[in-house]
Amino acid sequence: YDKPVKGRKINWMKAGILESDQILTVSPYYAEELVSGEDKGVELDNILRKTGILGIVNGMDVQEWNPLTDKYTGIKYDATTVMNAKPLIKEALQAKVGLPVDKDIPVIGFIGRPEEQKGSDILVEVLGTGKKAMEKQLEQLEIEYPDKARGVAKFNVPQAHMIIAGADFILFSVDLSLVVSSSYTRCAMEP
């Protein structure tokens, strides 16, 4: 049993690892990296190898987001019918958020927390969203462009499904994963 105490110092991370039932991290690649050497595992690589560490890939639940069974879009489709279904979902999305319904106007969607960590600060420069200050910028964007911009600062599952299914373009956060990942997250995606 490796103790988390060295002299008069306590390594709280080591204590937490030793007392945990399971150690998880943001990806299999990062889990491998942490146990690859002292420099990567911050001197905890040996204990992580002994206890085990599991990397979980950020991603989507393919059953929940299956367009053939999606309970939020109202229109079911697959690879053979997507070209017919997409414009209908797009029009429903435009109507739902109060934009002019027009299949020829591109719809750009973004789903993520209004925080710099999720890349929203970059989006403010492009479209406008964010924390309270960013939310104010988004509100201003809606005032300036009432027929072109809408923003919802609160996460809404049905609307997220409509955005993914109906938008012409989707802006993902920094690491481009479908589940918006943190720009602070180390090695969330494999190189």
The per-residue pLDDT for range 60-83, each reduced to its tens digit, is: 788 889 999 999 999 999 999 999
- Give the start-to-end residue ranges of the domains of the chain: 5-55, 60-191
Q: What is the pLDDT of residue 91?
A: 95
Q: 17-31, 70-84, 130-144: which has the minimum mean pLDDT? A: 130-144
Q: How far apart are CA 124 and CA 1, in angstroms?
A: 50
| Higher-pLDDT residue of 163, 189 | 163
* CATH fold for the domain made of 60-191: Rossmann fold (3.40.50)
The per-residue pLDDT for range 171-183, each reduced to its tens digit, is: 765 443 333 444 4
Categorize the per-residue pLDDT at 188 as very low, low, confident or very high, splitting at 50, 70 and 90.
Answer: very low
Q: How far apart are CA 129 and CA 175, in angstroms?
A: 18
Concatenated DSSP letters of the chain: ---SEETTEE-HHHHHHHH-S--EES-HHHHHHHTS-TTTTTT-HHHHHHH--EE------TTTT-TTT-TTTS----TTTHHHHHHHHHHHHHHHHT----TTS--EEE-S-SSGGGTHHHHHHHT---SHHHHHHHHHHHHH-TTT----SS--HHHHHHHHHH-SEEE--TT--SSPPPTT-TT-S--
Q: What is the pLDDT of residue 72?
A: 94
pLDDT over 90 percentage in the chain: 27
